[in-house]
Amino acid sequence: AQKITQTQPGMFVQEKEAVTLDCTYDTSDQSYGLFWYKQPSSGEMIFLIYQGSYDEQNATEGRYSLNFQKARKSANLVISASQLGDSAMYFCAMREPHGSGNTGKLIFGQGTTLQVKP
């Protein structure tokens, strides 16, 4: 069964420092997508970054980068130069293509709460 595991319920980071949020996944499919979403206290889900299973290079989006290690089935999110506004819950998610028994839905981890200290 497909599964996403985020082992860090809560993390603290000093402002302007980098932080890594861990994510491991389990799937038997060869084609899949990995996503990170940010959920601030206001509740909305904000897309941060995407990594495809066939992508050879790690994805980057501004201060966000994804450390993709396919053999280890990990997709850690790295936030560089943390800002106070980065304080939020972060979700790792996996999506498989619709078809062959897959629904195309997103499967989410339990989330990591990040607090940035001034």
Partner 1 sequence: DSGVTQTPKHLITATGQRVTLRCSPRSGDLSVYWYQQSLDQGLQFLIQYYNGEERAKGNILERFSAQQFPDLHSELNLSSLELGDSALYFCASSYGQGAQNEQFFGPGTRLTVL
Which residues, numbered 68-97, are part of the site for partner 1 (CB under 8 A)? Answer: 91, 95-97
Give how far Cα 39 sits from Cα of 19, 28, 58, 87, 108, Å: 17, 28, 23, 9, 13
Using the rule CB under 8 A, is 38 a contact of partner 1?
A: no
Using the rule CB under 8 A, is 44 a contact of partner 1?
A: yes
Of 7-15, 36-44, 60-68, 80-88, the window that binds partner 1 (rule: CB under 8 A) is 36-44
| Residues binding partner 1: number (CB under 8 A) | 27
Q: What angle do CA 91, 46, 93 make, to 5 degrees?
A: 30
Among 8, 22, 33, 58, binds partner 1 (CB under 8 A): 33
Using the rule CB under 8 A, is 47 a contact of partner 1?
A: yes
User: Of the candidates 76, 80, 81, 52, which has an alpha carbon nearest to the alpha carbon of residue 66?
Assistant: 76
